Amino acid sequence: MKNIPTPLDVRGLSCPEPFRKATEQAMALDPGESFELLISVEPQPLFGHLKKNGFLIDSHSTANGDFLVEITATGQHIDNRDKILVDIPSCHQVNSTA
């Protein structure tokens, strides 16, 4: 099992870029692989989107108030790759669920 060692830093990016970049990175994972996401807000819409599509999420806040999120592929995403990337919400949808 390989893990991507450097967190994907999406702090400061405008919506929907953090959601899109995290989803694309997650889709590149093989079952059992994971990566860390560094983001300035806890991305509940992203969590729901990824969990619904078979990813495990472990999130905690950092000392400076950002969030470090570990995203792990379970393998369920393999069959849904095309659908998952199409289902990325617009910024209005992301902001209205926060």
- The 10s digit of each residue's pLDDT in 32-53 is 999 999 999 998 989 998 998 8
End-to-end CA distance of the chain: 33
Judged by average pLDDT, the poorest of 6-20, 26-40, 59-73, 74-88 is 74-88
- Is residue 2 situated within a structural domain? no
Provide the domain count of the chain. 1
- Is residue 69 situated within a structural domain? yes
- Is residue 78 situated within a structural domain? yes
Domain with 83 in it: 8-97
- Is residue 3 situated within a structural domain? no
- Is residue 63 situated within a structural domain? yes
- Is residue 34 situated within a structural domain? yes
Please report the DSSP string for 16-39 in residue order.
Answer: THHHHHHHHHHHTPPTT-EEEEEE
- Is residue 79 situated within a structural domain? yes
Q: For residue 92, give the CATH number of its domain.
A: 3.30.110.40
* β-strand pairing of 8-9 with 34-39: parallel
Question: Residue range 44-73: average pLDDT?
Answer: 93
* pTM recorded for the entire structure: 0.79
